Structure 1
Amino acid sequence: MKPLKPWVLVLVAIVVGLLGVAANAFAMRSSAPTPVLPISAIGSMAVIAVVTLGLGIRVLRWRTGHRSHMLDPIFAARTLVLAHACAYAGAVLLGWHGGVIADQVPLLASRAGTPAVETALLLIAGSVVMVAIGFIVERFCRIPPEEGDDDGLSEGGRTPDTEGGLA
């Protein structure tokens, strides 16, 4: 599996942010409520982040020598996929709520402290945590380089762009 690329996550956040701006503008013209997730979504984001981090720590502990039994490679691969999903979900939520806030900027002076903006700011903070945990757990799931690699070349004769492959 290929490692996360920060520029792809930034691109996802920008595209979804533009959609958030458009959705908020449409909601304001329609006199609909601001399109942000409820405050309870922060709890769901926290559960996802903690579970991802917990599974990643389990893989890291095995990698660092706590090997009473063999680690299931499917478990490590699923943990890596969960880390990627956590990072992408964080980027989507960051973009959406960032776009909503960006569209609300002209109105913030007249109605500062609106609950929707405060909730969006909290969700942005949670999104940044999710992206960070995605990168951290991905790092935990890296396979160390083989001991026989003296020249640092991979099987195809190319130099690896990371210190080791991913699970």
Structure 2
Amino acid sequence: MSALSWQRLTLVGLVALALVWLLTAGLWSSGATPPHVPWSAPAIALVAAACALWFGWQVRRFLTGKKPDLSALRAARTAVFAQACAYGGAVLTGAYGGYALGLLDDWSHGPRREVIISALIAAAAGLLLVIAGVVAEHWCKHSDEDDDRGEATPA
């Protein structure tokens, strides 16, 4: 399993932003009504971010010797979950950011402004999910003294 990189996360987010922005701009310019962003989208992203941080903190305690009863399999699953959160958060941030960007021309229209604001809130929650995933994945790394490269490897 390779470690997360900001370049890949940024690329994933930018691709999602571009695709959703193009789709949104095309649909709404033809007269379609934009659907509201569900309130559950940012809520679920924040719950997933909290879970990633909690699980990552448990692995960090395991690696420092403060929680010896944690299994190595759970630590590996936590690292995978953290990476999934980071990539999922990048997609959410890009998609909801692109949605807001596609509707930005209608900012003066009250109901569309509410949709834009809710999309920006969901994009911010996605960004928090990215940050939580990166932090949790960082906590799941340990440095092997036997490793010749001297790099930290995922648990």
Question: TM-score, normalised on structure 1?
Answer: 0.83
Matched residue count = 154
Report the structure number with the largest CA radius of gyration: 1
Give the Cα separation in 2 of the matches to 1:10 and 1:99: 14
The amino acid across from 1:31 in the alignment is: G
Q: Go from structure 1 to structure 2 and tell me whether the alpha carbon gap of 1:54 and 1:9 turns closer, same or farther (over 3 Å shift).
A: same
Give the Cα separation in 2 of the matches to 1:141 and 1:84: 11
1:16 aligns with 2:16: yes
Alignment of 1:29-48 (within 5 A): 29-34=29-34, 37-48=37-48
Give the Cα separation in 2 of the matches to 1:43 and 1:102: 21
The amino acid across from 2:153 in the alignment is: G
Higher helix fraction: Structure 1 or Structure 2?
A: 2
Deviation at 1:128, TM superposition (A): 1.1
Q: Go from structure 1 to structure 2 and tell me whether the alpha carbon gap of 1:78 and 1:33 turns closer, same or farther (over 3 Å shift).
A: farther
8 Å CA contact 1:27, 1:35 repeated in 2: no
Residue in structure 2 matched with residue 165 of structure 1 by the alignment: 153
The amino acid across from 1:165 in the alignment is: T
Structure 1: 5+ residue stretches without partners: none
8 Å CA contact 1:36, 1:97 repeated in 2: no
Alignment of 1:46-125 (within 5 A): 46-69=46-69, 71-108=70-107, 110-111=108-109, 114-125=113-124
Question: TM-score, normalised on structure 2?
Answer: 0.89
Greater displacement, 113-122 / 34-43: 34-43
- Give RMSD over aligned pairs: 1.9
Give the Cα separation in 1 of the matches to 2:117 and 2:90: 19
Q: Structure 1 segments of 4 or more deviating over 4 A?
A: none
8 Å CA contact 2:42, 2:126 repeated in 1: no
Residue in structure 2 matched with residue 3 of structure 1 by the alignment: 3
Structure 2: 5+ residue stretches without partners: none
Q: Go from structure 1 to structure 2 and tell me whether the alpha carbon gap of 1:36 and 1:97 turns closer, same or farther (over 3 Å shift).
A: farther
8 Å CA contact 2:19, 2:98 repeated in 1: yes
Deviation at 1:143, TM superposition (A): 1.6
Query: What is the identity percentage for the equivalent residue pairs of Structure 1 and Structure 2?
Result: 33
Deviation at 1:94, TM superposition (A): 0.8
